[in-house]
Chain A
Amino acid sequence: MIKMTLNNKPVALDVDPQMPLLYALRDELKLTGTKFGCGAGQCGACTVHVNGVAMRSCITPVSAIAEQAITTIEGLADNNGNLGESAVQVAWREFKVPQCGYCQSGQMMSAAALLKAIPLPNDEQIIEHMQGNICRCGTYQRIKAAIKSAATHSTVANSVTTDLAGMNNGVEIFDARQLANKKQGA
């Protein structure tokens, strides 16, 4: 039994500990907002937050996230924005970012993690953080614009949050191997 917090609720999973979180979310918990795109950490479609940090759930075994706090697109709304949406979701609607929409859960999760770490990112920081998320429909230009808009709005709304203490610019996308190593080291 692997326990975690999922979108602020406690969850226990009785699955193969090696099962990537992506399949546990989609097949076991029926949370299908998190998408499969490559299964290899290369496209970002499966991005979720683990303790507020963007992570590729397709290569993150559930064993690696035991006792951690997971947020998926279904839990991204933070009641700060219109319609109970996060600043990122509000901006995504405003700029009509999605085409097919399939990559967009992952894009929004990555963007939200970026803004959490860097409230007012510059172009380079946006690109560096977002280039792991593929959009085959080609919505990149709108994603950039939406992130900038969300950054301006959320910083006005929240000023800077305390989570940032101790974090400097580099926003890391952890993959499971990194996390597993960290855990082993700990």
Chain B
Amino acid sequence: MPDERKKILEVHHLKQYFNVGKKDEVRAVDDVSFDIYEGETFGLVGESGSGKTTAGRSIIHLYEPTDGQIIFNGKDVSKLHTKAEMHEFRREIQMIFQDPYASLNPRMKVKDIVAEGIDIHGLAKDDADRTKQVEDLLETVGLNKDHSSRYPHEFSGGQRQRIGIARALAVEPKFIIADEPISALDVSIQAQVVNLMKELQEKQGLTYLFIAHDLSMVKYISDRIGVMHYGKILEIGPADEVYTHPLHAYTKSLISAVPVPDPEFERNRKQVTYDASREHDDKQRRMVEIAPGHFVRASEDEVEMYTKRAQEAGLVTDFPHS
């Protein structure tokens, strides 16, 4: 069944290498492909160093890709030539960062931080309009206008993240890349921020690329999940399915490591370890659709094993893979 939804982002065979040709060459992103549909949340998970941040930065075109293509709203990001096109692109995609403190200028008042994009893109008619917009944004993220003359250090971690979200929303983006936005927050505050992001998505039709290493929260906020390991995506599928019926051994190990707030479960925990060396044979691997919408990076001879696994999990009855 072809998917009728509109693709807002297409990443085709993206490669982002650093120090190419040198001894210390890093293949931070190595042949990664995925699509993100309008209005959905795509969760990108993986351990630190797996290339998640680099993928996000490549998408907003902070780097010239080593190879591959990034299509945003039907346009190739590498081919945005005119200033106006670039300007529009920079407005439509915004980023939220892990450390809300490091990403907020400590010497700027909250109102000027939030209005940064409004100023750059000339989105306010006059001063009064700017103030009004900032106050509305603060209210949207659960802060109030009394906060606007304060400095970032006067806020808690969760509140700072709200300021970061208000700043991103100020330019009315379509697409937000949230790079570990809750990793530095307490569990109880994580839930506040996740709920806020979900609520904003429903109200404003936003699309998210949500980057994280905490699988339990990602599963909760995402429609689909991609699992990254050493620069490669190993599995992509519907969030619930990837979480409850992971097909790739690495995904299994990642999920088995998530601590569960249940002592009975923990007493019987079975840790699955993953041996990365199996990736280093000389076999060609590509993303194969094992169950509908559920892809695994596999060599030709692994396809049968994954299909069997998917059948046993009840994900496929007689789904013909290509």
* Genuine A/B complex: no
Task: Give the B-binding residues of A (Cβ under 8 A).
Answer: none
